[in-house]
Each structure stands twice: as structure tokens, then as C-alpha cells.
A and B are shown apart, each in its own frame.
Chain A
Amino acid sequence: GQQLNQSPQSMFIQEGEDVSMNCTSSSIFNTWLWYKQDPGEGPVLLIALYKAGELTSNGRLTAQFGITRKDSFLNISASIPSDVGIYFCAGTSGSRLTFGEGTQLTVNP
């Protein structure tokens, strides 16, 4: 089946630093999405991307839909302690939604 390779698996950063994570696949996706899961909660949609090359921001978050349609990245600028959590990429191909394994982000004050 389709697989998304998400990296890094975990990150430990200092408050104020910028963060970058990405997702790659050998398959083409029609939509790329980024979700965040706070500890003890369910995932929440952060950004959805619908067109190859699309660059979208949501506050301090910026995500891009790769030109090849096989990758996406998420950047977080000027991290704060509440950014801690697990970030999941996801992609749709036809009716199938596939999730990455997640990036665990820890922000030290």
C-alpha cells in the first residue's frame, strides 16, 4: 500500500527556534495535510494543501505541497512551549487517506 515517510521522528528544540519537518512518498498524492496532536487529545487539522506548488501559512506555520506531488514540508517559526506535540502529515490519493508516523516535537523553555 501507499506509505508516507515522515522525518524527523523526533525533535528537541529551544523556545524561539524555527522547526522544519517533511514527508515524502514514492506515490503521487492529490492533497497534503498536516495535523497536530496535543498530549492526551486527538489530532487537529493545521493546514490543508490542494495544488502542487501551493504554499500556505497559518500563523507561525507554513506548509508547501511539493511540485512533484510526492512530498510536503511544514515549517514552524519562533517556536513556543505550546507547540509541543506530535505532528502528522497525511495525503489523499483517490478515496484513500494515508498518515505518516508523526514527528514528536519537544520545546524547551
Chain B
Amino acid sequence: ETGVTQTPRHLVMGMTNKKSLKCEQHLGHNAMYWYKQSAKKPLELMFVYNFKEQTENNSVPSRFSPECPNSSHLFLHLHTLQPEDSALYLCASSPVTTSNTGELFFGEGSRLTVL
């Protein structure tokens, strides 16, 4: 139990569906992240939020839309995805981003399959 909870753990969707991934952290952190993990590739940073404000968008296609209503919750809204978007999506949190020691607390991930 890392204090970061992701739902759903598994999601299968068609290319025309709209779905959302949810992340909640109980650690009192102010920074939250979305990462994409594909087989045999390094973790790819997608978005960073610091104190609810988006501070980084790593050239992510607009079919991925993040939302951070408060420092404890982070969503990733998905629409018109492609099969190559199938991957494990990891949420992480840290106290703040500015010091960036690299110490992240990850959730268990949401395994997404796009048909």
C-alpha cells in the first residue's frame, strides 16, 4: 500500500469510447503525475501537476486529457484512442516538484487495452 490508489486496474475500450482513469493520493503531496509504461521502454512522463496547476505536458496527443480538481485527485480522460495507446498508465505523487529529488510514490497502475 503506497498511499496512491488507481482505478480501474484494468480497462478495455474501443477506439470510439470515452473513459476515464482515476488516481487518488492520501499522502498529503502537492504534485501528481501521469506516466505511460510500455513493454521494454522507459517510463514516459505524460503530465505533471503541482498544486493543481499543470506544469508539464510532454507533447501528449489531445486524445488524452488530464484533470486535477485538487491536490489529492488526478484524472486522465480518454477518447478516440488508438490500439498503440494500450499500455500500463501509472499515477505518481511527490511532496512538490520544485525540489525534484526523483522520489515518487506510484499507484498500482491501470492496464489499458484499446481494441
Contacts and interface: CB of A to CB of B under 8 A. Distances in A.
Given A98-B42, A101-B41, A101-B42, A44 B106 contact: yes
Size class of the contact patch on chain A: 20 to 34
Given A40-B108, A43-B106, 6 more contacts: A4-B42, A42-B90, A90-B102, A92-B101, A94-B100, A97-B102
Contacts of B45: 97
Interface string B90-111: 1010000110111111111100
A91 B102 contact: yes
B108 A41 contact: yes
Given A31-B102, A48-B102, A92-B102, A42 B108 contact: yes
Contact of A48 (B4, B90, B98, B103): B103
Contacts of B2: 42, 44
A99 interface: yes
A81 to B, nearest CB: 21
Interface residues of B, number: 22
A-side interface mostly = strand
Shortest beta-carbon contacts, A-B, top 8: A42-B106, A92-B102, A99-B42, A99-B43, A33-B102, A97-B102, A95-B100, A43-B106
A42 B103 contact: no
A65 to B, nearest CB: 12
Nearest to A90: B102
Contacts of B98: 95
Interface string A35-63: 00000111111001010000000000000
Q: Which residue of B43, B92, B102 has the most chain A CB atoms within 10 A of its CB atom?
A: B102
